[in-house]
Structure 1
Amino acid sequence: MRALTWQGTGKVSVETVPDPAIQEPTDAIVRMTSTAICGSDLHLYDVLGMYLDPGDILGHEPMGIVEEVGAEVTHIRPGDRVVIPFNISCGHCWMCRRGYFAQCETTQVTAEGKGAALFGYTRLYGQVPGGQAEYLRVPQAQFGPIKVPEGHPDERYLFLSDVLTTSWQAVRYADVQPGDTVLVTGLGPIGQMCARIARHLGAGRVIAVDDVPERLAMARRHGIEVLDFGDVDDVPAAVLEMTAGRGADSVVEAVGMEAHGTPVQAAAMKAAGMLPDALARRATEAFGVDRMGALRTAFGSVRRAGTVSIIGVYGGQADPFPMMDLFDMGVTLRMGQAHVKRWVDDILPLLTGDDDPLGVDDLVTHRLPLENAPHAYEMFKNKEDGCIKVVLKP
């Protein structure tokens, strides 16, 4: 089969690799029909190469048609149309029974001290081949795959794999109450959907921050107030002014470690990624090289006794938090990988009709063949050609 493989920092290529096969009775083989590029994939592309090996297959936002199932897989069968959650969970362990599927004890990567295994995401999370390929082996398929109906193009359902469920959790974790003011930092795909979901769940006002014109225009189309931080010197001050000096009731931080920051932080991220793997891992794990601009914006914009939900991905271990201020203000922090299957029953009914209340049909900006994936990565990374979300078609 053909698959998108990591070949080194800033380098991916589509190669011919062996077809996947059933290895366990709980496996399934799915033929990919759509597979998206996530902002988290750019972390692998540019920064986290010390946790990858040349030839690793990337991608964790896939869907397709079931080709084959193991003996213990009974809820799906060949021919079914399924979405595959990005985290691999068993559905029956202590964590899964409590809805913490991203911490599944059956697939936890205990050797690295990490939670549930993820598709296409480094040795830290199990080095499981990803979905930017023609076929995908799905472990724990007795639980994970989400069967979806016919009647809509793939893109209506594809984002159950990550974007929709991650955004839904982020807003739920932000404790948004009817009439609240919500701030969203970053208007990539996750930020776009967080803003729309916050409105859908009753927020009275949603403000979002970015500086990419196409992202700002997309948010405006969905009734979101926007702040262009290229035009605003002090975003927290602007938010305080917009909220009569109180601040946002809730903030969703949807940027993560690619946030704009100081030149020193930017140089540290780049330098760590270029070290030999063993040294790079120690630098990343010991010193913390994330850029903190978006978090500082979130902490400066939330009201006293408000909530900050962090859904942007961070990799550093020693990032400085303003703990004195957060403690004084009584701010609640919530964060973590999305527990995908926990939220599917809430979201799927919103996707099956014709009204599209979450605006899912207005998210994808580029659809490209899998063979064009290297170009798509560069375009997405550099925000070229109005690129907000890319879907690859194997």
Structure 2
Amino acid sequence: MRELNLFSAGDLRWVDKPDPTLRTPRDAIVRPFVVSRCDGDTLPIHRKVSRAMQAGLRAGLIDPAVGHICGPLPFAGPFAIGHECVAEVVEVGDAVESVRPGDHVVVPWSVSCGHCGPCRRGLTSKCETTRAAAGGERTLSAYGFGPASGEFGGMASDLVRVPHADAMLVPLPTGLDPLRVAAASDNLSDAWRTVAPALRDRPDASVLVVGGGARSIGLYAAGLAVALGSPRVEYVDVDPTRLAIAESLGVAVRERPRRPRGGFGAYDVVVEASSSSPGLRAAVRSTAPGGVCTAVGYYVGTATGVPLMHMYATDITLRLGVSHPRAVLPELLDWIAATGFPAERVTTELADFDDAPTAYAARTTKLVLHRAPLG
């Protein structure tokens, strides 16, 4: 089978690999037919970061967690890439009960067992079972991050093995267009967790999204906030294309400085999607008293400079951490199926699956690969 590998910045190739096989009766084999590029994948695809990050780790300028997730030479190729997909089940083990061949499913980016303590609490990306590794415990157990996060391969592949299939795979609701939820494995579910719980608790909450590096997550979050009924949703960014997409989703938009120095007002719910230290500080300073700011970007430096005294004086909550898609996917997919939320508007390039090596390197907000399912 073919597996898309990142060799170095801008160099992606199909690599021939043996077809995956069922290793336990709880496994499934799936065939991805919609694959979406995560916002975070653009970092190693578009920039030569491996050696610089290695030097930063050694100098203490980059947080050690980067090495734990991506290896001591972060993003060193070749490695299998891709961790967002909608797939067709092609084979299941004897113990699998919830899916069968022919079913269309979303595969979460992180691998989880569904039974350990963290999984039962909804912290599926911190599954104790799948993170257990020889000689210790992985920081993450995931598709598409390289061997430091497990030998699971990437989702931009002809076939993918899914362990703990009953716990992992989430069937697509009948009639829901797979292209609409192409990013449900990660970016779309990540956006959901930034606004849906807060607006459930406070339906009248105002929402600000600081857009940027987490390109699609910020757009999904802004659109979801409008669809969930927030009376005031604003999106700030430096990119005209993303500002136009946000506006098409019913969001009020304005251009922001590239390095904001202060806040943008006062909002009950703030989503920090610039993935930058200045953006994070501006997002915190834009959070109203008693509000919540959720950061979804990568903040790899050890000197981010979070304004803790301002947070103390204003009484706000800052949340950040990996997303736990398996915990929210059933609710998210059912809601999109019921409301018709047009998440596909965030997609800026739709490419043929066979063209993955070229398409995956595109400098665009949201790339989606597709091919026809078998059935």
> TM-score, normalization: structure 2?
0.84
Confirm or deny: 8 A CA contact 2:36 2:367 kept in the other structure: yes
Letter in 2 for 1:158: A
| Partner in structure 1 of residue 65 of structure 2 | none
Partner of 1:81: 104
Shifted more, 343-352 versus 161-170: the winner is 343-352
Q: 1:24 and 2:2 equivalent?
A: no
Opposite residue 23 of structure 2, the aligned amino acid is Q
Structure 1 residues 53, 140: CA separation in 2 closer, same or farther (over 3 Å shift)?
Answer: farther
CA contact (8 A) 1:121 1:128 kept: no
Tell me the equivalent position of 1:370. 353
TM-superposed CA distance for 1:76, in Å, is 0.8
Q: Give distance in 2, aligned partners of 1:118 and 1:233.
A: 33
Pick one of 331, 334, 339 that aligns with 1:346.
331
**Contact 1:211–1:229, Cα closer than 8 Å, also in 2:** yes
Deviation at 1:189, TM superposition (A): 1.2
Aligned counterpart, 1:141: 165
Post-superposition offset of 1:212: 1.4
- SS of residue matched to 1:118: coil
Q: How far apart are residue 251 of structure 1 and its match?
A: 0.8
Question: Amino acid of the residue matched to residue 269 of structure 2?
Answer: S
Contact 1:168-1:197 at 8 Å conserved across structures: yes
* Cα distance per residue 1:293-318 (max 9 Å; x no partner): 21022122112332111112333344
Distance 1:123 1:297, change over 3 A: farther
Quick one: which amino acid aligns to residue 111 of structure 2? I
Task: Indicate if the aligned counterparts of 1:101 and 1:116 stay in contact, CA closer than 8 A.
Answer: no
1:109–1:6 Cα change, 3 Å: farther
**Deviation of 1:85 (Å):** 0.8
Per-residue CA distance 1:223-242 (angstroms, 9 max, x = gap): 11112125x985745x22xx
Decide which of 268, 272, 283 is 1:298's aligned counterpart: 283
Superposed CA offset, 1:199-252 (max 9, x none): 23332101111121111111111111112125x985745x22xxxxxx112211
Match of 1:222 among 226, 238, 249: 249
Question: After the TM superposition, which residues 31-110 of structure 1 pair with which residues of structure 2 at under 5 Å, given as runs?
Answer: 31-45=31-45, 46=47, 47=49, 50-108=73-131
Q: Choose which of 368, 372, 379 in structure 1 pairs with 2:362.
A: 379
Q: Provide closer, same or farther for how the CA distance between residues 113 and 318 of structure 1 changes in structure 2, counting only shifts above 3 A.
A: farther
Deviations 1:271-326, CA, capped at 9 Å, x for gaps: xxxxxxxxxxxxxxxxxxxxx12102212211233211111233334433222222
Match of 2:322 among 332, 337, 344: 337
Secondary structure, in 3 states, of the residue corresponding to 1:20?
coil
Aligned residue for 1:183?
208
**In structure 1, what residue type is equivalent to 2:346?**
L
Q: Which one-letter code corresponds to 1:38 in the other structure?
A: C
In the alignment, the residues of structure 2 paired with residue 129 and residue 206 of structure 1 have an alpha-carbon distance, to the nearest angstrom, of: 38
Matched, 1:249 2:247: no
Preserved CA contact (<8 Å) 1:173 1:309: no
Q: The residue matched to 2:293 in structure 1 has which SS?
A: strand
Question: Which stretch of the first structure deviates more once superposed, 83-92 or 119-128?
Answer: 119-128
TM-score (norm: length of structure 1): 0.80
1-structure distance, mates of 2:127, 2:19: 27
Cross-structure match for 1:192: 219
**Could you say if the C-alpha distance between residues 55 and 73 of structure 1 is closer, same or farther in structure 2, counting changes exceeding 3 Å?**
farther
Distance 1:136 1:302, change over 3 A: same
Unaligned runs of 5+ in 1: 241-246, 260-291, 381-386
The whole-number CA distance in structure 2 between the counterparts of 1:177 and 1:53 is 44
Match of 1:128 in 2: 152
Name the CA shift for 1:379/1:62 in 2 (closer, same or farther; >3 Å). same
Aligned equivalents of 2:7 and 2:87: distance in 1?
A: 26
Distance (whole Å) between structure 2 residues aligned to residue 102 and residue 219 of structure 1? 29
* Residues 189 and 328 in structure 2, CA contact (< 8 A), matched pair in contact too: yes
The alpha carbon displacement at 1:57 in A equals 1.0
- Residue 220 of structure 1 aligns with an amino acid whose one-letter code is E
1:39 and 1:127, CA in 2 relative to 1: closer, same or farther beyond 3 A?
Answer: farther
* Higher alpha-carbon deviation: 144-153 or 169-178: 169-178
Q: Distance in 2 between matches of 1:119 and 1:174?
A: 29
Q: How many residues align?
A: 344
Q: Aligned partners of 1:149, 1:340: CA distance in 2, in Å? A: 16
What is the aligned partner in structure 2 of residue 157 from structure 1?
Answer: 181
8 Å Cα contact 1:2-1:15 kept in structure 2: yes
1:65–1:128 distance in 2 versus 1, CA, 3 Å: same
User: Could you say what secondary structure the match of 2:34 adopts?
Assistant: strand
Percent of aligned positions that are identical = 33
Q: For residues 70 and 316 of structure 1, what CA distance do their matches in structure 2 show?
A: 43
Identify the residue that residue 210 of structure 1 maps to in structure 2: 237
In structure 1, how many angstroms separate the alpha carbons of the residues matched to 2:182 and 2:321?
21
1:313 and 2:298 aligned: yes
CA gap 1:190/1:112 in 2 versus in 1, 3 angstroms: farther
Aligned partners of 2:173 and 2:334 also within 8 Å: no
Determine if contact 1:121/1:127 at 8 Å carries over to the other structure: no
Q: Is the 8 A contact 2:182 2:368 kept in 1?
A: no
CA drift at 1:53:
4.7
Shift of 1:140: 1.7
SS where residue 142 of structure 1 aligns? helix
Tell me the C-alpha RMSD between the 2 structures. Answer: 2.4
- Structure 1 residue 330: Cα displacement: 1.7
